[in-house]
Structure 1
């Protein structure tokens, strides 16, 4: 279906990938794996004729699509050929309803068009679009009102809407999936797997990029491994070996981070308390009557199914959402209306939505790493007391940024490269680096390893454990990755329908966790 011949792409003289010879067969699911910055997503962008590829000098080599050399240069033409793509970061229009998003590339029109009457003179058949969208979602097993807005939907539903948009193209032959399960919990991932397998049965060819190697080995017929822009290995189904693939990706064996210094958290004093806290959004309670004690120096985990509230606690504390109830920090009520003062006091957050809330996309790596520490805490100023009137300490900034790039393995051409140009995983590492250099007393991290390769995941988890052990930083980690929470947390709060459902130990088995996140009580045995 797709064949590439010596395909290469460079940015500013540096190759994202070079001389890639790749085959995608008809009706095949082909996995592509590799560390962050290895060239995977850029490879898909070239195949899909992303606009930025052509704005940065195009590409070298040939792409053969369905037997013919591809000579197009727009995504619109790629869609018309029969390609579709689900992006790592959502490509949805929030101001439009669900049906309009699903049918955006395949609208139904009222009227008729010919050579004399252009489609510009027709109008969209909204009712037929809604019928089509509802039918597609029904076939996928997703229950949602297609007339409703995207604004209040959880990330898993948005991901399914992205897939539905591509399925809506009746000419679909090839589907590119770039980290589609990064924001999904296990239950939603199972639904996704069924959908993808059904697409394969219909003869659609799929390229699937994921850092979750268990999903790769379950779904794919073949796997290609990228490392530093080169194809270093290729495996057929009967050759799959997760450990071997992981070593090929990184070039060495990866050790898992473990918190071996867990304390009896019940003996510690509270550093932060939530008393009857609720988040109100458009007159609806996102989380309701939360009472939570966060102990000084602990690593506290919070988990739930998507949309049940585990990532919302940090937004409440940081004052990003309207809050009812009291938040007490070091014995005093926190004024959540002044986020800058909250940061100054020692509470910092790494959000789960890195592009929307965590990055200055048009600024460079340096600015993104130092921004919070500089402007909220007065670090990197030659004369801190003058604040906005002070010169920046450029030597100290350079030393800190260079150390962060090395420590977190941030793949960038230079500290002056724009954040927008980096892979999602490297953008996430910048968010972590920026938070850590503020030297917080309480650090909230939401989905810190989402879309991160297996090596970088352990770097981030090791960083959190080290920060907690060496500096006594209290860490609150909201994540849907149960295994990671159990490895580094002192205790884990499980939320269900916006409320605290249970508090579990890292020693509790996976079945207990699965029951709790589904709102079911564990059966106690005598």
Structure 2
């Protein structure tokens, strides 16, 4: 397994500063052939930056490079581009997808490595006129998909895929490479259901058995213990622990990550809200969202409650908020606060004091090239004319820079967003901190009703508790009705009052959060399609 004399990978004294922050300081660890290393740390601890260095990402070179040494099989290497790393046998599945939306899964899996065959024209004029060998492409992509143990439609176009299947396509692409020695998985299970995640863990075990080394980054610490040989814990740019997985526990890792004790999640004391009026009534809703089709959902939401919506991937739970908020074609009837909300009209929803935090923070949630201030304040400025100073009855308007700064700083403090300042660009933040900015943006709208979809996707254990507590506080202090959609049942149980389970594009049932996991599990598989 591990050869400490001459391991497959050795990282020595790695240092990196990034946008004025010292993000990595003297990082040292080794990884043996066929060994699985779990890399843990809160958002902003430096995990993704360290992996970008190992994978030769352009952003490292463009920001002044790094210091320290990377040794592969005892030889010093320096990857200037990801192509150098790929050639050396290192693959990486990133936290954010890098797929071509208009291509099928097979075409993405074999991109730039497509098998070709000769034809009459190419025999005469040369190999450049060879044609693609589609039969061989199908065979190779099927073999890569089979290695994962999870069935995905190889012919489906990426833009039509549910988010979990996009993740599997990324992983299959790496598994299809013959020279693969080391695979870096950055939050691979964040978008997967428990069943899909278990299949992936089994796949990681299979990779290790074939001699492929794996660096596994995840915030689901039980997965680390289930599949890893060793655990490296980072905090504030340092390695604070490097231990055998057999000699540690979720509690220990959590303590090392955050530098404090984090209480294990307990189911919240659910409120019944039985006397509350119905603030939103959804009747016979259908939504044409690829991979998350809603067929016939009827649901009454009580004023002031936190309602959870759960279910397996692809069963329609994500389609509900996307349909109500007008992001995908929808039909049926939605009434809010006594009036009907027209479907397929996002602006009408926003004008009615509804807000939505999307599960897709990069494509829908953020202005990546803009500052945190602009991200937080812009929707409220555009929709409600907040943070604007006016003259001559509104004929002349200009931005209230002080107000914008104050509201952004308020949420940076409340949500503990790790950044250099409120002027920092959203794209420079870690994934979990970007997610907090999406929440801040919704809070700044001061809505009456908030849909929040996968609010803790890719967020570490310390930040997760903080985000869920922020949602509860927002609900209780502001009286805002919250509907929270999540793939993680335990997260819903510790946050919500009631939980609706969606299966087969319909509501299979609604239970109080205090109901047992087994009861929820039965609902999840009741109408599965």
Calculate the TM-score normalised by the size of structure 1. Answer: 0.94
Q: Which residue of 2 aligns with 1:237?
A: 245
Within the candidate set 167, 182, 207, 2:175 is matched to 167
Q: Which residue does the alignment assign to 1:476? A: 483
Q: Which residue number corresponds to residue 153 of structure 1? A: 161
2 CA distance for matches of 1:295 and 1:317?
Answer: 16
Pairing partner for 1:413 from 420, 425, 431: 420
* Equivalent-residue separation in structure 1 for 2:296 and 2:389 (angstroms): 45
C-alpha separation in 1, matches of 2:54 and 2:65: 11
SS of equivalent residue, structure 2 residue 15: strand
Distance 2:506 2:272 in 1: 25
| 1:40–1:226 Cα contact (<8 Å) kept | yes
Cα distance, 1:502 vs structure 2: 1.1
Alignment correspondent of 2:260: 252
Matching residue within 143, 146, 153 for 2:151: 143
Instruction: Indicate which of 122, 131, 138 corresponds to 1:130.
Output: 138
Structure-2 residue corresponding to 1:524: none
Deviation at 1:386, TM superposition (A): 6.3
Aligned length: 516
Distance in 1, Cα, partners of 2:292 & 2:369: 34
Structure 1: gaps (5+ residues) = 522-526
Q: What is the match of residue 502 of structure 1?
A: 509
Compared with structure 1, are the counterparts of its residues 470 and 256 closer, same or farther at alpha carbon in structure 2 (3 Å cutoff)? farther
| Residue equivalent to 2:52 | 45
Q: Give SS of 2:288's match.
A: strand
- Secondary structure of 2:347's counterpart equals helix
What is the aligned partner in structure 2 of residue 326 from structure 1? Answer: 333
Aligned CA distance change for structure 1 residues 437 and 510 (closer, same or farther; 3 Å): same
Please, which of 214, 233, 237 is the counterpart of residue 206 of structure 1?
Answer: 214
Question: Does the aligned pair in 2 maintain the 1:378–1:384 contact within 8 Å?
Answer: no
RMSD: 2.1
Aligned match of 1:267? 275
From the superposition, tell whether residues 498 and 74 of structure 1 become closer, same or farther in structure 2 (CA, over 3 Å).
Answer: same
Match of residue 405, structure 2, among 398, 401, 424: 398
2:397 pairs with 1:357: no
Q: 1:82 to 1:517 in 2, by over 3 A?
A: same
User: In structure 2, what is the Cα distance between the partners aligned to 1:89 and 1:50?
Assistant: 14
**What displacement does 1:16 show?**
1.7
Alignment of 1:305-454 (within 5 A): 305-383=312-390, 389-454=396-461
Q: How far did 1:351 drift? A: 0.3
Q: Partners of 1:420 and 1:246 in 2: how far apart?
A: 27
> Which of the residues 178, 188, 194 maps onto 2:196?
188
Encode CA deviations 1:402-440: one digit per residue, 9 max, x unaligned.
Answer: 121111111112222211121110100000111112111
- Which moves more between the two structures, 203-212 or 459-468? 459-468
Stretch deviating more after TM superposition (136-145 or 203-212): 136-145
Taking a change above 3 Å as real, the CA distance of residues 275 and 97 of structure 1, as seen in their structure-2 partners, is same
Q: Within 1, Cα distance between the matches of 2:451 and 2:256?
A: 33
Query: 1:321, 1:287 → 2: CA distance?
Result: 11
Distance 2:42 2:391 in 1: 39
**How far does residue 350 in structure 1 lie from its aligned partner after superposition?**
0.2
Which 4+ runs in 1 deviate beyond 6 A?
384-388
Counterparts of 2:351 and 2:394, CA distance in 1: 13
> Quick one: structure 1 residues 150 and 126, their matched pair in 2 at CA, closer, same or farther if it must change by over 3 Å?
same
Residue 300 (structure 2) pairs with residue 293 (structure 1): yes
1:387 CA drift (Å): 6.5
Give the whole-Å Cα distance in 2 for the aligned partners of 1:428 and 1:420: 11
Counterpart-to-counterpart distance in 2, 1:140 and 1:260: 36
CA distance in 2, matches of 1:152, 1:44: 29
Q: Cα–Cα, structure 1 residues 47 and 389, in superposed 2: closer, same or farther, change >3 Å? A: farther
The SS at the match of 2:399 is coil
C-alpha deviations, 1:89-112, integer Å up to 9, x for none? Answer: 111111111111111153212249
> SS of the residue aligned with 1:20?
strand
2: CA distance, partners of 1:348 / 1:173: 45
CA distance in 2, matches of 1:54, 1:29: 28
- For residues 13-62 of structure 1, the C-alpha deviation after alignment (integer angstroms, 9 at most, x for no partner) is 32221211121111100011001011000100110001111111111111
The CA deviation at 1:144 is 3.5
TM-score normalised by the chain length of structure 2? 0.93
The whole-number CA distance in structure 2 between the counterparts of 1:371 and 1:258 is 36
Q: Is the CA contact (8 Å cut-off) linking 1:378 and 1:387 kept in structure 2?
A: no
Superposition deviation, residue 311 in structure 1: 1.3
Which sits farther off after the overlay, 397-406 or 455-464? Answer: 397-406
Could you list the runs of 5+ residues in structure 2 that have no partner in the other structure?
1-7, 120-124
Aligned to 2:474: 467
Match of 2:5 in 1: none
Query: Equivalents in 2 of 1:83, 1:227: separation in Å?
Result: 25
**Preserved CA contact (<8 Å) 2:55 2:90:** yes
Residue 96 in structure 1 maps to residue 84 in structure 2: no
1:513 aligns with: 520
Q: CA–CA distance in 1 between the matches of 2:267 and 2:19? A: 41
Is residue 73 from structure 1 mapped to residue 80 from structure 2 by the alignment?
Answer: yes
